[in-house]
């Protein structure tokens, strides 16, 4: 099974989880990058405002085509109980190109259900597996067991 991990990460948490998943699976990985500067407090506020309004962004060019993969594992931080703007933009741009999907989210602890629902709605796909990791689990490094069971589900789903 050919698998791609794609993720966006503003401050490194989603990147950490995405890299761990890709290294466990030995699969391709691509970071989605935004043309907008989202750093600092201004970037935070702008991102929250845009997420609430359901805005899109302009992404930097990315290389991998999801159509070339049996499964695309999509990772996002949760922004205002929604997928981050770069990931919702990516999903819209690639709608119809996904065979199977799995989702993972990083977050402080609120808005998971709405985020997963939004990702299902945009892709039109039911995920074969989902994973969520909180900021405090990431800080403590207490997420290996979650990644293990996510990977089991990914393999079962395929
Ligand atoms: C604009 C913005 C909105 C956020 N909204 C939420 C939220 O609704 N619920 C939540 O639990 N965490 C929220 N967070 C926290 C992030 O989801 C969390 O810190 C995540 O791990 C960041 O991932 P990253 O380091 O990959 O960017 C928000 C963060 C940002 C920047």
Its ipTM equals 0.99
DSSP 8-class letter at 133? E
Q: What is the mean pLDDT of the segment spanning 97-110?
A: 98
What is the chain's mean pLDDT, rounded? Answer: 96
Predicted pLDDT of residue 157: 78
Q: How far is the CA of 107 from the centre of ligand 1 (A)?
A: 5
* Burial tier of 43 (Cβ tally within 10 Å: 0-12, 13-18, 19+): middle
51: domain range?
3-157
Closest residue (by CA) to atom 9 of ligand 1?
A: 110
Write the CATH number for 139: 3.40.50.360
Confidence class of residue 158 from pLDDT cuts 50, 70 and 90? low
Q: Which atom of ligand 1 is nearest to the CA of 15?
A: 26
pLDDT band at 75 (very low <50, low <70, confident <90, very high): very high
Percent of the chain at pLDDT exceeding 90: 97
CA nearest to 24, candidates 154, 157, 158: 154
Would you say residue 57 has pLDDT above 80? yes
Closest C-alpha residue for ligand 1 atom 8: 80
Distance 109 CA to ligand 1 centre (A): 9
- pLDDT of 23 higher than 80: yes
Residue 12 near ligand 1, beta carbon < 6 Å = yes
Could you count the other beta carbons within 10 Å of the beta carbon of residue 72?
27
CA 134 to ligand 1 center in whole angstroms: 10
- Dist CA 112 CA 46 (whole Å): 21
Query: Domains in the chain: how many in total?
Result: 1
Residue 4 has pLDDT above 80, yes or no: yes
Name the helix (H) or strand (E) containing 134: strand 130-134
Q: What is the mean pLDDT of residues 122-151?
A: 96
What average pLDDT score do residues 121-145 get? 97
Query: Exposed, middle or buried by CB within 10 Å (0-12, 13-18, 19+), for 108?
Result: exposed
């Amino acid at each position: 099974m050919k698998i791609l991990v794609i993720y966006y990460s503003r401050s490194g948490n989603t990147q950490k989880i995405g890299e761990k998943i890709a290294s466990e699976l030995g699969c391709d990985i691509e970071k989605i990058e935004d043309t907008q500067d989202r750093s600092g407090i201004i970037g935070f506020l702008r991102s929250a405002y845009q997420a609430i309004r359901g805005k899109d962004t302009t992404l930097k060019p990315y290389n991998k085509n999801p159509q070339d993969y049996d499964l695309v594992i999509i990772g996002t931080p949760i922004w205002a109980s929604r997928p981050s703007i770069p990931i919702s933009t990516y999903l819209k741009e690639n709608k119809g190109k996904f065979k199977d999907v799995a989702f993972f989210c990083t977050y402080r602890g609120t808005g998971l259900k709405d985020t997963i629902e939004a990702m299902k709605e945009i892709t039109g796909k039911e995920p074969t597996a989902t994973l969520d990791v909180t900021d405090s689990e990431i800080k403590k490094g207490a997420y290996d067991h979650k990644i293990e069971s996510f990977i089991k589900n990914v393999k079962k789903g395929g």
